């Protein structure tokens, strides 16, 4: 029933947010099973991926709410939503790739995970700037 009143950008953010929360939950189960057999240091990047996907999910859900205050065209709303969701995928994959490849220091190694985290930073910044601009316009203009 709500599908009739929710705009496409909000749907993208909500689906992305819930998807991140589901991923975090699954990674939590994987982490717990691995921790039963080995110390945390071997799974530091898995823990990072678990925590980051939880944070990304909550951020996307919060931004879905914030988007309701933004003075943006439907096209800019959708662009910002997709930038933010794609950025969250880059961030989620960053920790997973580092864990699967046994990365030590992603910055020193310039690992694939580091490349994905860098893509996240650029993409997330663009999406957040659009939403922030819209919210400022919506609340102050």
Alpha-carbon distance 115 to 122, whole Å?
Answer: 11
Query: Residue 97 and residue 56: Cα distance in Å, rounded?
Result: 17
Q: Are 6 and 75 in contact (CB under 8 A)?
A: no
How high is the pLDDT of residue 41? 83
Instruction: Note the pTM of the prediction, 2 decimals.
Output: 0.92
Give yes or no for a contact between 88 and 16, defined as CB atoms under 8 angstroms apart: yes
Helix (H, G, I), strand (E, B) or coil at 13: helix
* Domains: count for the chain: 1
End-to-end CA distance of the chain: 32
Tokens describing residue 68: 């309701």
CATH number at residue 67: 1.20.120
Each residue's pLDDT expressed in tens, for the chain with a length of 141 residues? 455 578 999 999 999 999 999 999 999 999 999 988 888 888 899 999 999 999 999 999 999 999 999 999 999 999 999 999 999 999 999 999 999 999 999 999 999 999 999 999 999 999 999 999 999 999 997
Contact by Cβ (8 Å): 46, 34: yes
Do 120 and 87 meet the contact criterion of CB atoms below 8 Å apart? Answer: yes
Range of the domain at 72: 2-140
Residue 1 has a pLDDT of 45
């Amino acid at each position: 029933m709500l599908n009739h009143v929710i705009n496409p950008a909000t749907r993208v953010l909500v689906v992305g947010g819930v998807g991140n929360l589901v991923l975090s939950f699954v990674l939590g189960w994987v982490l717990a099973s691995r921790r039963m057999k080995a110390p945390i240091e071997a799974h530091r990047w898995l823990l990072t991926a678990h925590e980051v996907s939880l944070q990304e999910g909550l951020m996307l859900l919060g931004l879905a709410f914030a988007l309701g205050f933004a003075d943006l065209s439907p096209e800019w709303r959708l662009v910002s939503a997709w930038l933010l969701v794609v950025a969250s995928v880059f961030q989620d994959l960053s920790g997973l790739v580092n864990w699967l490849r046994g990365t030590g220091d992603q910055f020193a190694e310039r690992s694939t995970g580091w490349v994905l985290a860098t893509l996240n930073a650029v993409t997330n910044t663009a999406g957040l700037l659009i939403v922030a601009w819209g919210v400022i316009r919506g609340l102050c203009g």
